[in-house]
Amino acid sequence: MNKYFSTIFAVTVLLLASFPPAAPAEDRLDTIAKEIESIKAENKDLKERLKTLEVKDEEDRYNDASKLVNISGYADVEYDLTNLPGVNDHFRPRHMSLFFEKNIQREWNLFTETEYEDAPVIDGTSGAAKAEGKFVVEQMFIKHRSGPEFDISMGRFLTPAGIWLIYHYPPYIPTQDRPLHIRQIFPQYSDGLMIRGSFNLFSSMVDTHVYVSNGSGNSGSADGNSDKAYGLRLNAANTIENGKVEVGGSAMHERDNNDITKTALGAHLKLSYFNFGLQTEYATRQNDPPGAANYYDTGLYTQCTLDIKKWTVAARWDWYNNNSLIPRNDQYVYTGALNYHFAHNVIGKAEYNWHEFNNPATPNYYLAIFSIVVAIGDL
Amino acid sequence: MKAIKGFFILLLAWMALPGYAAAGDAIAVIVNIKNPITTITQTDLRKIYDDLKLKWENGMPITVYDLDVNDPLREAFSQQIFSVSSDKRAEMWAHLKITNQAKNPPMCIKNEYLIMKMISVEEWAIGYVSLSAAKSGDVLGYKIVATIY
């Protein structure tokens, strides 16, 4: 019996001895803590390496971007309804504009904008040549920029006058239709040389544009007269509590291809306050034809906007008289618009324009436009 | 009655909650450590990010950094400084660029760490990051010149 118990005791002792002694709990915790520290150190190292790679990636992105041509643009399509005699309600693939920008050197830059309006067709393959719509190079200039406050551009540029003539791109304005006097008093674009200088005066930023160009009605290589047009724009901007205010003036003097001496003057005001915006422009031009009486063409509009989350509400009053010698020649447009910003680069617009004429022989009419506008490119 | 009381307590508690940036984090405006400025006013900040101030007081040109348009911190910054959304600000810059009127547009960087890194190497740069990122000590070579809550 004793032998039997002795054997069991011996086997038990051997079995117990075959297992390693259990480490004290504190030692195990120490080991785990060391392992965690080691993993943490590895993790930190990996993070650092990742960050270095991200910085390199970002630097590469800028270096690569400077080698590429930056392409952006916009497109808009509409459905127009009107009671204008002879015009049916219609779909309108209105604009497709492409901007190409290339930084050739640090100071040298090329910018172009080609615009296709109303889906142009130029077809000379059939018997009768066909040309529909409009294709225009709206901007094409080479710019030398010696710093943020000074640059010189030569080529075709948007005529620097007022607000709308410059800031008119559909993704960033509330209406598809422009005020009546825009492009009538100052030309849409000018072919020539422009100098921009900006400086701080007191607490305001003053932007000046001075330019010399072929003048209105002369584009590309066709300058129909030996005179050049001269122009100037001044704009002073300052911040106000929760907003910004801009005031300015524009002037242009030229003799056109019909020997009419034209002197245009304009004034503008733009106010942003929280989500409210006010924009107004006045322009007038004295036209002096040889051997005939002077006349003026004059226009004014005022536009208010209110942004509420993804919505923009706009209202505009617009007046234009294209010849002061003609009696009852005033025309007015009353506009209401509603925009919905599906995203920062996709906007749906609905607008209603009521056109009213002083002359009873010209019938008043409405134009309602429903449109979708998209902006292409990196914001 | 108890439910109404509870509702009002909840409503008051909700109203007492701080704004966007403070709820998450404050915004730290940072410049390079070598920049002599020690503070910047919100007016100057607005001018810099609105193309109305192009140079530091010593005449050096300002390099402006911004976050990606979809970054929540950029939204908070736009709301705090300009009282408009970051989308609206991005649209403004896009319009200035395509009309040849942008003088000193901000360079958009995809995250806060990279902004800190860029500012730490560019002497006349300015940017903003969350206060916690600015104080993380991940990057050296910049200083906080304003805190926006």
Report the share of chain B in percent with pLDDT over 70. Answer: 84
What's the confidence (pLDDT) of residue A360?
A: 93
Phi-psi region of B43 (alpha: psi -120 to 50; beta: other; left: phi over 0): alpha
Which of A144, A154, A172 should one mutate to test binding to chain B, selecting the residue with the greatest count of B CBs within 10 A?
A: A172
Percent of chain B with pLDDT over 90: 70
Beta carbons of A172 and B92 less than 8 Å apart: yes
Please name the residue ranges forming H helices in A239-316.
none
Contacts of A275 in chain B (CB under 8 A): 83-84
pLDDT digits (tens, 9 = 90+) for B112-128: 999 999 999 999 999 99
Please tell me the total number of residues recorded for chain B in this structure: 149
Considering only alpha carbons, which residue of chain B is nearest residue A62? B107
* Paired tokens of B33: 């450590």
Assign B19 a pLDDT band (cuts: 50, 70, 90): very low
Asked if A237 and A260 touch (Cβ cutoff 8 Å), the reply is no
- The pLDDT-based confidence of B23 (bands split at 50, 70, 90) is very low
| Residue in B47, B83, B90 nearest the CB of A379 | B90
Write down the pLDDT at residue A24: 64
pLDDT bin (cut points 50, 70, 90) of residue B12 is: very low
If DSSP codes are grouped into helix, strand and coil, which group holds residue A233?
strand
State pTM to two decimals: 0.81
Please tell me whether the interface predicted TM-score (ipTM) of this complex is above 0.90.
no
Distance CA A229, CA B82 (A): 39
Nearest to A169 among B69, B95, B103 (CB): B95
Say yes or no: B43 contacts chain A, CB-CB below 8 A: yes
Structural domain for B36, as ranges = 2-148
Closest approach of B118 to chain A, Cα-based (Å): 8
Q: Specify burial of residue A272 (Cβ count, 10 A radius: 0-12, 13-18, 19+).
A: buried
User: Chain A 44-103, CB below 8 Å of chain B: which residues?
Assistant: 51, 54-55, 58, 62, 72, 99
Interchain CB distance below 8 Å, A379 and B91: yes
Q: Where does the pLDDT of residue B24 fall: very low under 50, low under 70, confident under 90, or very high at 90 and above? A: low
Q: For chain A, which ranges sit under pLDDT 50?
A: none
pLDDT digits (tens, 9 = 90+) for B97-114: 999 899 999 999 988 999
Determine, for residues B114 and A141 on separate chains, whether the beta-carbon distance falls below 8 Å.
no
Q: Which residue of A has its CA nearest to B64?
A: A148
Q: What's the angle, vertex CA A152, arms to CA A146 and CA A156, rounded to 5?
A: 145
- H helices present in chain B, as ranges: 2-15, 20-24, 42-49, 72-82, 86-98, 112-121, 131-134
Q: How confident is the model at residue B13 (pLDDT cuts 50, 70, 90)?
A: very low
First vs last Cα of chain A: how many Å apart?
A: 94
**Which CATH number goes with the domain that contains B57?**
3.40.190.10
For residue A234, what pLDDT is reported? Answer: 98
Distances (CA, A) of A29 to A19, A33, A41, A232: 21, 6, 18, 79
DSSP state, residue A24: P
Residue B20 reports pLDDT greater than 70:
no
Asked if pLDDT for residue B6 goes beyond 90, the answer is: no
* Nearest in space to A191 (alpha carbons), one of A164, A165, A159: A159
Confidence (pLDDT) at A46:
76
pLDDT of residue A72: 92
Assign B15 a pLDDT band (cuts: 50, 70, 90). Answer: very low
Beta pairing partners, A73? A98, A376
Report the domain count for chain B: 1
- Which of these, A301, A215, A223, lies nearest to A263 by C-alpha position? A215
The pair of three-digit structure tokens given for residue A33, joined into one six-digit string:
């803590």
Amino acid at B7: F
